[in-house]
């Protein structure tokens, strides 16, 4: 693809801003841009005009100004682990990927204020580790934490496995630094727990998937490290039983309940099949299993006693048939690892159709029973991979092609009708078609069918006000 003289001039300008080694293009055929152009699920490969890797906020602002002046669209990118094809460029070869991964510094940990201020490109795991070294907990936790960045977590308002206690990324954020679509820097890194001075702009940028501006820094809440963190795996006879167990866990553990994840039998069978080195308890005899975590500020003995009481009550009520409580940190990690391996096991099994949905927790059993019946009637042989953050009412209601079926055909022909079926039930249950992964380009055309025209109108108004030239991740989340 030949570059225009305007594109060549812009690339020169970008090189002068961030330094030539940090502007990657296809001009040199030896440069491999796959890591920035291919989405994590391998669904779509775009083509970038350039991947630009600024080293600080001023450089981001200068890059945005230059691109805006040249009317070139920008795609903010962190770890590129997003699930909805929102962080990679389109196929036009005209978009600039703005990769934040060089901006990876911890700026300040304020122990008194219980906050940490970081560059947006900080990898989530590094942020967790920094906090732990200083005796604090940063509770956001996702299986992609080794590569995703705090900017991407904020951009998607990521959820993960600790939301039941600490909330989504939004709830953890006390301030943002943002480069606007015009290239101005907004310093909102106040770290205040109270500030009612007008619209809370921070909340517009959180979850905006790079469509309103570029998040360059963030002030996040941290917590004292709990004295003990215990993990249990429980076999449960039905989804009704899992919801009953959740109620008991809230009652017995109160704010100590920091994780509650459900996993269906087929999901666990995929982990056992693709990761045979992992020991997966109960999956052969139980239709569902639940991972529970109890974080305690008193002592391990106290946490264990609370867990035992909970599990006794649950067994008495018939909502748990068997359970194991981890005896060591290593065992706890192994139990979590089973849960976290499900997306990877699914990917190993082949192409799949994902539904990241949320429903009021109390209605989840009815939702699952109804959707399973409708889906299997219309798509006989489809394999249901149901698991997720039951404590938040968020299921990954995923579907694997029938055994032996042509997976590419399955995805091409069945994804649309299957999405339509599942989302129709989600709407009837007044749920959401995207609980935590966002909209990206994967669901951008579906959103209007599931969101009220009033809400869509307000969203368009916000987009128009903040990015009137439609240069920030255009075509993602919302169309003009």
Beta carbons of 202 and 178 less than 8 angstroms apart: no
CB of 390 to ligand 2HG, least distance (A): 11
Binding string, residues 336-375; x marks residues near ligand 2HG by CB under 6 A: ------xx----------x---------------------
Residues 369-408 that bind ligand 2HG (CB under 6 A): 388, 396, 398
Q: Which residue is nearest to ligand 2HG (CB)?
A: 343
Residue carrying the six token digits 């539904």: 355
Q: Does residue number 77 form part of the binding site for ligand 2HG (CB under 6 A)?
A: no
Write the DSSP string, 103-119. ---EEEEETTTTEEEEE
Q: Cβ closer to ligand FAD: 153 or 295? A: 153
Cβ neighbours around 461 below 10 Å, total: 10
Which chain residues interact with ligand FAD by CB under 6 A? 40, 75-83, 86-87, 100, 120, 142-144, 148-149, 151-153, 155-156, 158-160, 209-210, 214-215, 343, 436-437, 473, 476
Q: How far apart are CA 277 and CA 298, in angstroms?
A: 35
Instruction: Give phi and psi for 231, each to the nearest 5.
Output: -120, 140
**Which of 3, 143, 204, 313: binder of ligand 2HG (CB under 6 A)?**
143
Within 8 A by CB and 6+ apart from 105, the residues are 118, 119, 122
Q: Cβ closer to ligand FAD: 39 or 414? A: 39
Report the phi/psi class of residue 199: left, alpha or beta, with left for phi > 0 and alpha for psi in -120 to 50.
beta
Q: Cβ closer to ligand FAD: 66 or 206? A: 206
The entry of ligand 2HG, ligand FAD, none that residue 398 binds, CB within 5 to 8 Å by partner kind: ligand 2HG
Q: How far apart are CA 122 and CA 106, in angstroms?
A: 8
Q: Does residue number 213 form part of the binding site for ligand 2HG (CB under 6 A)?
A: no
Q: Cβ closer to ligand 2HG: 221 or 354? A: 354
Q: How far apart are CA 292 and CA 282, in angstroms?
A: 15
CB of 308 to ligand FAD, least distance (A): 29
Take residue 345 and report the two structure tokens written for it: 């096991």
Q: Cβ closer to ligand 2HG: 143 or 185? A: 143
Residue 159 to residues 165, 419, 421, Cα–Cα distance (Å)? 11, 22, 25
List b or e across 20-36, with b for residues whose CB sees 16 or more CB atoms inside 10 angstroms.
Answer: eebbbbbeeeeeebeeb
The entry of ligand 2HG, ligand FAD, none that residue 396 binds, CB within 5 to 8 Å by partner kind: ligand 2HG
Residue carrying the six token digits 């939702």: 367
The entry of ligand 2HG, ligand FAD, none that residue 191 binds, CB within 5 to 8 Å by partner kind: none
Beta carbons of 397 and 404 less than 8 angstroms apart: no
Q: Cβ closer to ligand 2HG: 49 or 291? A: 291
Query: Binding residues for ligand 2HG, per CB under 6 A?
Result: 143, 342-343, 354, 388, 396, 398
């Amino acid at each position: 693809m030949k570059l225009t003289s305007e594109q060549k001039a812009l690339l020169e300008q970008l090189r002068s801003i961030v330094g030539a080694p940090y502007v990657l293009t296809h001009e040199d055929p030896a440069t491999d841009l796959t890591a920035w152009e291919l989405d994590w699920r391998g669904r779509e490969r775009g083509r970038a005009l350039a991947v630009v890797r600024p080293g600080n906020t001023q450089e981001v602002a200068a890059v945005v100004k230059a691109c805006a002046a040249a009317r070139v669209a920008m795609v903010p990118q962190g770890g590129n682990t997003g699930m909805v094809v929102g962080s990679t460029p389109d196929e036009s070869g005209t978009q600039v990927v703005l990769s934040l991964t060089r901006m990876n510094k911890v700026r300040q940990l304020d122990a008194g204020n219980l906050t940490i201020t970081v560059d947006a490109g900080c990898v989530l795991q590094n942020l967790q580790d920094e906090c732990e070294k200083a005796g604090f907990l940063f509770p956001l936790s996702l299986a992609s934490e080794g590569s995703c960045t705090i900017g991407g977590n904020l951009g998607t308002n990521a959820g993960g496995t600790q939301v039941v206690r600490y909330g989504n990324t939004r709830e953890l954020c006390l301030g943002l630094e943002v480069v606007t679509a015009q290239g101005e820097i907004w310093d909102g890194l106040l770290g205040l727990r109270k500030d009612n001075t007008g619209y809370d702009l921070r909340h517009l940028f959180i979850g905006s998937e790079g469509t309103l501006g570029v998040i360059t820094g963030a002030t996040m809440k941290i917590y004292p490290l709990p004295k003990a963190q215990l993990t249990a795996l429980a076999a449960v006879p039905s989804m009704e039983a899992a919801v009953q167990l959740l109620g008991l866990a809230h009652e017995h553990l109160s704010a100590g309940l920091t994780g509650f994840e459900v996993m269906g039998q087929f999901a666990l069978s995929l982990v056992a099949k693709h990761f045979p080195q992992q020991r997966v308890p109960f999956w052969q005899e139980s239709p569902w299993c639940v991972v529970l975590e109890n974080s305690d500020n008193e002592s391990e003995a106290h946490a264990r006693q609370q867990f035992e009481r909970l599990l006794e009550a649950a067994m008495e009520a018939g909502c748990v048939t068997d359970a194991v409580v981890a005896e060591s940190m290593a065992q706890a990690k192994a139990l979590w690892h089973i849960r976290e391996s499900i997306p990877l096991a699914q990917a190993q099994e082949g192409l799949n159709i994902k539904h990241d949905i949320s429903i009021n927790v109390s209605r989840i059993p009815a939702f699952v029973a109804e959707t399973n019946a409708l889906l299997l009637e219309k798509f006989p042989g489809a394999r249901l991979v149901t698991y997720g953050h039951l404590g938040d009412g968020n299921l990954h209601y995923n579907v694997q092609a029938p055994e032996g079926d042509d997976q590419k055909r399955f995805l091409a022909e069945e994804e649309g009708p299957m999405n339509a079926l599942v989302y129709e039930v989600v709407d009837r249950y007044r749920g959401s078609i995207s609980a935590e992964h966002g909209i990206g380009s994967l669901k951008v055309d579906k959103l209007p069918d599931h969101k009220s025209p009033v809400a869509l109108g307000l969203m368009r108004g916000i987009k128009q006000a903040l990015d009137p030239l439609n240069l920030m991740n255009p075509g993602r989340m919302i169309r003009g």
